[in-house]
Structure 1
Amino acid sequence: MYVIVGLGNPGRQYEGTRHNVGFDVIDILADENGIELKKLKHKSLVGEGRIAGQKVLLVKPQTYMNLSGEALLDIYNYYKVSPEELIVIYDDIDTDLGKLRIRKKGSAGTHNGMKSIIYNLQFDTFPRVRIGVGRPEKGRDLASFVLSRFEKDAMEDVKSVLKSASQSVEAIIKEGVDAAMNKFNS
């Protein structure tokens, strides 16, 4: 079984923000694969189904970004998946807007949600899909930037990268992380 986690913040005020692109990809995967995200379990909104013939659990932690690791630890301990079967999708200010980066493992960088996950799980050897959201202009507070919405002229790039991110998750499941990296890293 694969546990696919999209990071974001719950609540209408965060919908469509840079920090919620992980939630957006989970929504796309759910829609395209007929998976309902209705259960509130393990401090998360979850839905079970199949993607590429494999059983999956789609997860949107409801703990707010900075405590994402609490929800993931609960899920990890309950489902006993291997690190390779855990896929985390999140926003990345160090990747250009509209670009995608898949990695097998790595540090959290500046991302507080990832810091919480690595701290709670005590390992960083899980695949992740990083979605480029651009960098804040000089002098702008990072928190206000990631909690802001995309500019209208960026929406085509955003829709395209969200679609690519959902396809990359399916590729990781179907073909493995190395093949997905070769196919989708830009």
Structure 2
Amino acid sequence: MAMLALPGTAGLTADQDEQVLVDALPYLDTEYNDADRQTALRLIDQECKIFRPTKNYLKHLPVPDFDVFLTPCMLKEQARMSKKQEMPKLDMSRCELPCPSGTSRAGDKVQWRKAIKNAKAQNEHLVTRQINLELMEEYAAETYLRRNKELEQLCTEAERELRRTKEQVSKGYLFWYSASGGHVRVFIKTGIRIQRKLERSIGDFEL
């Protein structure tokens, strides 16, 4: 019922090549032994080493446009790197707190107001960071643990659904193979019976 090697497909037409050739029934073929399995695995390894695709399996997909990832920022950075220019340093001036200095600016109220406004903004930013750190210290660990448990549950449910789907597919194959196997056995017995009749008829004819 089973074959360890398939004939080549050079003589198949395009329509025949699209069809699925069922040459074995895994749930019914029980005449394999360890030597046959090793031979089959060796044939598979040999086929994988010399196999060359004869079809374009991606022809139904559009041609990828890799330029879509070339944003203006990336193009600018690529041009900078091609010229071997250094990356501009971060502007840290907004994090500084300079006070008006010099005789001309020391008494300038506008400059002092700007300096005070800048100091207040940076102080508020630092206060907000401190609050965020305190909140994270108090709640982040529990929040991350809860989120990790949710992700674990999602993974468990996905694995359970995958196993359920595999079992359904396996049961479907088992049912289909069992039904097909019954027909195959009938055909084999019928073929053997016809062959024996032909052999007897040929023997009688020769006599």
- Do they superpose with TM above 0.5? no
- Tell me the TM-score normalized by structure 2: 0.19
Q: Going by fraction, where is strand more abundant, 1 or 2?
A: 1
Q: Going by fraction, where is helix more abundant, 1 or 2?
A: 2
- Tell me the TM-score normalized by structure 1: 0.20
Which of the pair has more CA radius of gyration? Answer: 2
